[in-house]
Amino acid sequence: MTGITALLEQQATRPRLSHDEDVAERFQKKGPKEFSGVTDLLVAEGWIRSLEIIFAYMGLTDADKLKCAVYMMKDDAALCRIIREFMSLRQGDKTVVEYIKQFERGCHFVPLIAYSAQEKMRQFVDGLRADIKHDVRMMDVTTYEAAVSTIRGW
């Protein structure tokens, strides 16, 4: 019993970390990699997946995940370039399936599109080839998911 009491007293006298400091300290102990601003979406996606593994293990809230991820970003200019590339993403010669995969990967970098159903739908349809865009608009689909399920079989 004396050992437990001594441990509790020791804990009480130790300086307390704020929530953010505690999360940051625990996060750093997991050895996350910095994002150096590469422009290859596959490399960036690998970085995101490595962070997601840490986030899942730690059971972080979305707000804490965002703070930790932003902290690991070291080259804002390169990240902005990835975002610009995504915003100008077009289907071009890609198949519908290839375009959907590339669009989904890009959504990781542009939360305002990924989490706004209307903006996600608009951005996706705007990037389709003219003939497919016309057909999707004629079908009057209202969500990204509906558009994807409609054209996935084409």
Instruction: Please report, for the chain, the start and end positions of each structural domain, with discontinuous segments joined by +.
Output: 1-88, 90-154
What pLDDT is attached to residue 31? 93
What is the rounded average pLDDT of the residues 116-124? 84
Long-range contact set of residues 26-34: C-beta below 8 Å, sequence gap at least 24:
26/58, 27/54, 27/58, 27/60, 27/68, 30/54, 30/57, 30/58, 32/68, 32/72, 33/72, 34/72, 34/73, 34/74
What CA–CA distance (Å, rounded) separates 144 from 126? 12
What is the rounded average pLDDT of the residues 89-97? 90
Sign, CA dihedral 24-28-30-36, equals positive
The 10s digit of each residue's pLDDT in 11-69 is 555 556 677 788 889 999 999 988 876 667 788 788 889 999 999 999 988 778 878 88
Rounded to the nearest integer, the mean pLDDT of the chain is 81
What is the rounded average pLDDT of the residues 113-125? 81
CB–CB of 127/94 below 8 Å? no
The residues near 153 (Cβ < 8 Å, ≥ 6 apart) are none
